[in-house]
Homo-oligomer: A and B are copies of this chain.
Amino acid sequence: MEVFMVQPLADDLGFLLSRASGQVVRATNAALAAHGLRVRQYSVLVLACETADGISQREVAAVLGLDPSQVVLLVDELAAAGLVERQAPEGDRRTRLVVPTREGRRVREAAGRDADAAVEAPLGLLGRAERDRLRDMLTRIWTASG
């Protein structure tokens, strides 16, 4: 069957955006599956690895644009897999810091390489300069409705 394109949909940035997003997420998930991860968990792991003293679950939710209740489950799964730990910070006993284990850092590295490689399938046609422009535009979309 020939898949044609309907003009009003091909012009709709919202449609194109969610379709492209799904494409990339699917490719990334396929790559991360080898490490027992999904994109959500991987994002949390990256966040934990990238901050010096760990990151509170509240901050994870804010940065990723998720509901705090989702972060609980994601951290549960990562902790069950031995990739992160919940640590109590110095001052505030309400918050729990998400801190990567040694194994967590290792997996994050390996998974990151595979994910980056997998994303080349959908993004392969975009040059370096184009990716920079795309990054810039997507960032501004986010800031526009913060």
Residues of A whose CB lies within 8 Å of any CB of B are 1, 3-11, 13-25, 27-28, 39, 43, 46-47, 50-51, 58-59, 62-65, 112, 115, 119, 121-126, 130-131, 133-135, 137-145
Contacts and interface: CB of A to CB of B under 8 A. Distances in A.
Describe A's contact surface by its main secondary structure.
Answer: helix
A7 B47 CA distance: 9
A12 to B, nearest CB: 8
Contacts of A1: 58-59, 62
A24 B14 contact: yes
Contacts of A19: 64-65, 138, 142
A110 to B, nearest CB: 15
Given A8-B46, A9-B50, A19-B65, 9 more contacts: A6-B63, A13-B138, A14-B115, A16-B139, A17-B17, A18-B24, A24-B141, A122-B144, A133-B137
Contact of A17 (B21, B115, B130, B140): B21
